[in-house]
Structure 1
Amino acid sequence: MMKEFSLAFASKVWEFKLRKEQIAVEFLPNLNPSHANIPDLIRNALFQPVGYPELKRAITPDDRLAIVLVDHFNGFLEILIAVLEHIAGTGVAMENVTLVCLACTNSDSWVDNLPDEFNEIKIEVHNPDNKKATAFLTSADDVGMLYLNRTVIEADQVVVLGKRQYDPYFGISGAEADIFPALANSEMISTCSKEVLGDDANSDLGKQKALKVSWLLGAPYYIQIIEGSNASVEEIFAGADQANRFAEKRLDEIWKQDATSTFDLVIALVGGADEKIGFVQLCRALVCAKRIVKKNGAIVLLAQAEFNLNDIKKQLEMKSIGKSEAAFSLVPHHLIRHWVDAASQGKVYVSTFEGKDDIARLLALPLRSAQELCDLGSKADGVAIIRDAHKSYINIKKR
């Protein structure tokens, strides 16, 4: 008698079999099967913010607005347009609105799809190497000499639009962490990239600094997305500090799970059929799996990821980010460091297709078929399967 599991990722389904006596544990998110659609979610968030006035009460028609967009998220364009329509309804002229992005946000892929009424909006790609594009914010001992994006500092109102997700540098990224260090000067970004890896795969090393920086900016308004499975959106929250803490609580309730032991083999499923997966998502899945794999155990990442292997390999070879790389780093350096750390401590396998086995250049081993995965599983006493591992957090709970 065999245990059978259907492992769905991207457009693939692999059948995975284990002997009856083998231990197998599945980790699944606590998703709402009947959650609202995106238009209803963003409308409710904007008109019913958590413990804070509506955005339209925080701005006046003459205000200059900076909308921070440092990461893609499910429903990106639909949510952005809804936010811009809400702002336009307050009488703010669109030429007074600037979308502040990062190079990795790839604004070329969505700017042309904005409606014509938003043609006068400015698009700024933050370049931390450009000293004219940053302005002095603080020299506090707990932060250091910090220059931040000038448009953000000089704005009458800052709106941060992004997703909440688990992260080994912030604990939970998004909100304040979308401002710092992402929009800092290159010297500060380089300094943050050199901070030591903690023993915990998800510490909050950068969170306190990010909080301090956000306080210095006054009262940024946060619109926060909690993603669901595949390309869906589970919840959206708007507001300030109270909304941030509430969003973190809901993220834990949906995506955080407990484990009572570690495993010889951890299988991390990354991405659904409608979800675009890159190397960042692979890194986040690896960080999640790393928490529950035994020493010298194996991690398998099942995904159909798209990324430029040569660019990622260059980042893997960097011990830290220099100032010249800070502006255009494709993957946060702390995620790169966790990838290298996990690969050196055990075996990391990544699913490959069409004979593309060059994943080995990224310190990983190619996995070509469901049969190869079954062969790996047959040697393991305990196997963990994590659905949507790139969004999950597995907590080792002491008995």
Structure 2
Amino acid sequence: MPVVTHIHLGDCPPLELSLRDEAWIGCHEPQSPGEAESLDVAAATMAALQQPVGFPPITQAMVPGDQVAIALGADVRQADAVVRGLVAALEWAGAGRESVQVVVGSTAEADTLREQLQDLVQDGCVVIGHTPSDEKALCYLAAVDEVPLLMCRELFEADVVIPVGCGRTAGSYDSRGPYESLYPRFSDTATQRRYEQADALDGPTAVSTRRGETDRAGWLLGASLVVQVVPAPGGGVAKVVAGAPDDVAQAVAEACDSQWVQEVESRARLVVATLAGNEQEQTWDNVARALYAASLAADEDYSAVAICTRIHTPPGKTLRKLMTMNGDLERVASELQGAQTDDAQAAWEIYKALCRGPVYFMSQLDEETVEELGMTHVNSPEELTRLVERSESCLVLNEGQYAVPRFPAHSR
């Protein structure tokens, strides 16, 4: 008897899939947006700051006249509502809107957020886009192993810095804890490029080293109060947590585990991983995250992966290198190692997946582009269904940018 499940793709209605019962391993099947419990994100953010974990209420963390910088990380869902809740909490603590700066990672992000927060901006709240290539936009924070640690000037000069990040499950791709929203996002271009290096996460100590560097940047900046926004299956927000970094990290780990960890009994010959969420979540960075999540549950000897997205962003510099290799994986490895661009890690995860087997890709890119990247173009849900029906064993990871497969202790 066939098993029926659903895949969640972009912000479209769920698509139905069916496959043989004997081939079925499992599916992380979130609620649809209409089924998910609605959370007033602004109110939840304000409440989190009024009763932070492991930290006094925000009224005790500030003095009159303090200048506050909100360091808004990437991939924070409903970021405008989060900022509104933060500003409301700061006003409750006695700060005026004119004393608040919201710092984001680029001028384009600033333009978008400024449009969403027109009323706050009119009352004096400032939205600033960080420019990592501008020396005047950076300040020397400390020397680490004789290398200058540079950070965004607005954060360096603020009396209070509040990092706001996307909460992720421990063990997910490049998860670096409560200061991930700060570093290297608000550092200099050279540091950002180093973190973007294609194979930067492959060394045995790479993950712990990056986590240590990120934590150190937060400590040196004096960011003792942090905010994390936990994404909910179905495209929403599950929880907002504020407080001391270690306490927030623990609370977020528990919340993310309950939302995003999928227990699986065995590895699969085919892993289907989707990117759900709006256009802002349809990125090559999230493709890298989904490919990494798929690799955790894929058969180690041979496996195929199908990445289902709504992405339409053309390949960047390093992805375009894949397009010139004609499937020569040895040449791909030598060309990609050391590449430092914003799409290098996506290219590297595609390469590693191709080393295990075929990669199928559903997107809004044209077939020729996908095939030149070394992947097989999936044109429709019907094609995906046929692929799943032929598979020896199959696992579905919905919202693969967040989902993490784990094996029970007895099956390891």
- Counterpart of 1:395 in structure 2 is 406
Counterparts in 2 of 1:188 and 1:353: CA distance versus 1, 3 Å: closer
- State the aligned residue count: 391
Counterparts in 2 of 1:186 and 1:287: CA distance versus 1, 3 Å: same
Q: What is the identity percentage for the equivalent residue pairs of Structure 1 and Structure 2?
A: 19
Q: 1:172 touches 1:204 (CA, 8 Å); kept in 2?
A: no
1:64 shift after superposition: 1.6
Counterparts in 2 of 1:191 and 1:281: CA distance versus 1, 3 Å: closer
**Paired residue type of 2:20:** R
1:266 shift after superposition: 0.5
Q: 2:311 touches 2:365 (CA, 8 Å); kept in 1?
A: no
Aligned ranges 1:343-354 → 2 under 5 Å = 343-352=354-363
Aligned ranges 1:269-348 → 2 under 5 Å = 269-272=274-277, 276-294=281-299, 295-310=301-316, 313-314=319-320, 319-320=337-338, 329=342, 331=343, 333-348=344-359
1:358 shift after superposition: 2.3
Report the Cα distance in structure 1 between the residues aligned to 2:369 and 2:68, rounded to whole angstroms. 45
Aligned ranges 1:107-118 → 2 under 5 Å = 107-118=110-121
Counterparts in 2 of 1:280 and 1:95: CA distance versus 1, 3 Å: same
Aligned ranges 1:60-139 → 2 under 5 Å = 60-103=63-106, 106-119=109-122, 120-139=124-143
Report the Cα distance in structure 1 between the residues aligned to 2:172 and 2:137, rounded to whole angstroms. 26
What's the TM-score once normalised by structure 1's chain length? 0.85
1:138 shift after superposition: 2.0
1:359 shift after superposition: 2.3
| 1:266 paired to 2:277 | no
What's the TM-score once normalised by structure 2's chain length? 0.83
Q: 2:72 touches 2:165 (CA, 8 Å); kept in 1?
A: yes
1:214 shift after superposition: 1.3
Aligned ranges 1:44-59 → 2 under 5 Å = 44-59=47-62
Q: 2:70 touches 2:103 (CA, 8 Å); kept in 1?
A: yes
- Counterpart of 1:370 in structure 2 is 381
- Counterpart of 2:26 in structure 1 is 25
| 1:3 paired to 2:14 | no
**Paired residue type of 1:389:** G
Q: 1:71 touches 1:105 (CA, 8 Å); kept in 2?
A: no
* Match for residue 229 of structure 2 among 225, 230, 245: 225
- Counterpart of 2:168 in structure 1 is 165
Q: 2:169 touches 2:260 (CA, 8 Å); kept in 1?
A: no
Note the alpha carbon deviations across 1:145-184, whole angstroms, 9 max, x for none: 3112222122111011221125879752452111122222
Q: 2:107 touches 2:130 (CA, 8 Å); kept in 1?
A: no
| 1:37 paired to 2:40 | yes
1:257 shift after superposition: 2.5
Counterparts in 2 of 1:395 and 1:209: CA distance versus 1, 3 Å: same
Q: CA RMSD in A?
A: 3.2
Gapped runs of 5+ residues in structure 1? none
Gapped runs of 5+ residues in structure 2? 323-334
1:292 shift after superposition: 0.9
- Counterpart of 2:332 in structure 1 is none
Note the alpha carbon deviations across 1:58-99, whole angstroms, 9 max, x for none: 122311221101313222111211211222343434343222
**Paired residue type of 2:315:** L
Counterparts in 2 of 1:87 and 1:118: CA distance versus 1, 3 Å: farther
**Paired residue type of 2:352:** D
Q: 1:48 touches 1:54 (CA, 8 Å); kept in 2?
A: yes
Report the Cα distance in structure 2 between the residues aligned to 1:199 and 1:321, rounded to whole angstroms. 15
Note the alpha carbon deviations across 1:130-153, whole angstroms, 9 max, x for none: 222212222233x84311222212
SS of residue matched to 1:390: coil
Moved more, 105-114 or 220-229: 105-114
Structure in which a larger fraction of residues adopt strand: 1
Note the alpha carbon deviations across 1:309-340, whole angstroms, 9 max, x for none: 35673587765465xx6xxx4x5x54543233
Counterparts in 2 of 1:310 and 1:150: CA distance versus 1, 3 Å: closer
Q: 2:107 touches 2:131 (CA, 8 Å); kept in 1?
A: no
**Paired residue type of 2:233:** S
- Counterpart of 1:240 in structure 2 is 244
